[in-house]
Amino acid sequence: MEREVILSVKDLNVKFSLRGKVLHAIRGISLDLYKGESLAIVGESGSGKSVFCKNFIGLLDKNGWVDSGTIEYKDMDLAKFKKDKEWSKIRGKEIAMVMQDPMTSLNPLKTIGWQIEEAFRLHQDLKGEAAKNKAIEILADVGIPDPARRYGQYPHEFSGGMRQRVVIAIAMACNPRILICDEPTTALDVTIQAQILNLIKDLKDKYDLTTIYITHDLGVVANVADRIAVMYAGDIVEIGTCDEVFYNPKHPYTWALLSSLPQLGVKGEDLYAIKGTPPNLFHPIRGDAFAARNPQALKIDFEHRPPYFEVSPTHKARTWLLDPRAPKVDPPAIIQNIRNIKRGGVENG
């Protein structure tokens, strides 16, 4: 089944200049985002998952730039966009973003209603009473009780979960095609996390959205994602459907990531932790970026960067282990149990 590609990234390279040195943050990522899907990008802190997605709405920090590659969206190449004016066609209107921390992502001096209407004024030319009604409608949509009263309140009068709903309402106010959720539940109470995830899921169905989740919480992923892209050191090392990545992971980094799920821990034993630190992106990386931390690394992992090996039409991984000449290495035993866990514990993790 050929699905419609809504956003297509080709060989994207992003660099940052930091204290006079150049950091290669995104190292040649290619990715097709399908219309209506929900893609999760997972990886540890500093793997470049946020930086990667910020390229889609032109919010890279000032010291960063797209070195090469293209981001195609509706016959436009977003990688070429420089000016605010060009981005104004995309930001909010086509691609919107929900940030991590709802406590700080609202302007403390403006009412909730004003902040939602700001988006209307910009993108839909909606003003006055009509805008107000629409804002109240959206507040109701994201599950805020008594929206007419809440409309006139300030952010400090809302709890964290409610604020995240407001942030989502603001993102939805522009009626975007793609919604990027940058760790939408990290700053929230565990009990609220599931609610917010369900809310995003409902909105996705209702408005036919394409969603990208950026997260390091595989529990979140298991719940919401159709596809998973695993990022490590500025590169996607494995990508596949949710089931493929969970049940049939191929890349040693994915193994390590899954092994460190707290739900897999055995009482009385230490949790699995990945040894070492991610590579320094100031220096060029030789071979497989994960090789240094990989106990099963092959000699070639230190010499040549592995290409993508296709496991199935939807599943590919960048590891020499998939080369026919490679010795057979089994994934760690611990992640064999994942099937039981995913149905139970991880569900609302």
Q: Rule CB under 8 A: is residue 139 a binding residue for other proteins?
A: no
Q: Rule CB under 8 A: is residue 261 a binding residue for other proteins?
A: no
Which one among 34, 65, 154, 247 touches other proteins, defined by CB under 8 A?
154
Between vectors from CA 181 to CA 221 and to CA 35, what angle results, nearest 5°? Answer: 80
Q: Rule CB under 8 A: is residue 125 a binding residue for other proteins?
A: no
Q: Rule CB under 8 A: is residue 106 a binding residue for other proteins?
A: yes
Give the range of 27-35, 117-125, 214-222, 244-252 binding other proteins by CB under 8 A: 117-125
Give the range of 15-23, 105-113, 130-138, 290-298 binding other proteins by CB under 8 A: 105-113
* Distance separating alpha carbons of residues 258 and 331, to the nearest angstrom: 10
Q: Rule CB under 8 A: is residue 17 a binding residue for other proteins?
A: no
Q: Rule CB under 8 A: is residue 336 a binding residue for other proteins?
A: no
Give the range of 15-23, 71-79, 80-88, 245-253 binding other proteins by CB under 8 A: 80-88
CB of residue 330 to other proteins, shortest distance in Å: 43
Give the range of 68-76, 99-107, 312-320, 332-340 binding other proteins by CB under 8 A: 99-107
Whose Cβ is closer to other proteins: residue 3's or residue 89's? Answer: 89
Query: How many residues line the site for other proteins (CB under 8 A)?
Result: 36
Whose Cβ is closer to other proteins: residue 41's or residue 297's? Answer: 41
Q: Are 197 and 161 in contact (CB under 8 A)?
A: no
Strand order from edge to edge, sheet including 309-312: 95-98, 178-182, 210-215, 38-42, 227-232, 235-241, 315-317, 309-312
Q: How many CA atoms lie within 13 A of 134 on its CB side?
A: 21
* Distance separating alpha carbons of residues 165 and 99, to the nearest angstrom: 11
CB of residue 157 to other proteins, shortest distance in Å: 6
Helix axes of 190-207 and 160-173: crossing angle, nearest 10 degrees: 20
Q: Rule CB under 8 A: is residue 119 a binding residue for other proteins?
A: yes
CA 311 to chain centre: 23
Whose Cβ is closer to other proteins: residue 6's or residue 144's? Answer: 144
Q: Rule CB under 8 A: is residue 214 a binding residue for other proteins?
A: no
Q: Are 224 and 40 in contact (CB under 8 A)?
A: yes
List Cα–Cα distances, 185 to 17, 247, 259, in angstroms.
30, 24, 22
Contacts of 92 (CB under 8 A, 6+ apart): 119, 122, 123, 171, 174, 176
Which one among 3, 5, 74, 107 touches other proteins, defined by CB under 8 A?
107
* Distance separating alpha carbons of residues 280 and 244, to the nearest angstrom: 30
Tally helices (H) and strands (E) across the chain.
Answer: 11, 12
Please name which of 211, 185, 204 lies closest in space to residue 39, comparing C-alpha atoms.
Answer: 211
* Distance separating alpha carbons of residues 310 and 317, to the nearest angstrom: 7
Q: Rule CB under 8 A: is residue 143 a binding residue for other proteins?
A: no
Which one among 8, 13, 44, 59 touches other proteins, defined by CB under 8 A?
59
Q: Rule CB under 8 A: is residue 92 a binding residue for other proteins?
A: yes
Which one among 44, 72, 118, 243 touches other proteins, defined by CB under 8 A?
118
Give the range of 6-14, 89-97, 188-196, 290-298 binding other proteins by CB under 8 A: 89-97
Q: Are 34 and 206 in contact (CB under 8 A)?
A: no
Which one among 104, 133, 312, 337 touches other proteins, defined by CB under 8 A?
104
Which one among 139, 171, 214, 257 touches other proteins, defined by CB under 8 A?
171
Interface with other proteins (CB under 8 A):
57, 59, 84-85, 87-88, 90-93, 96-97, 99-101, 104-109, 111, 118-119, 122-123, 153-154, 156-159, 167, 170-171, 174
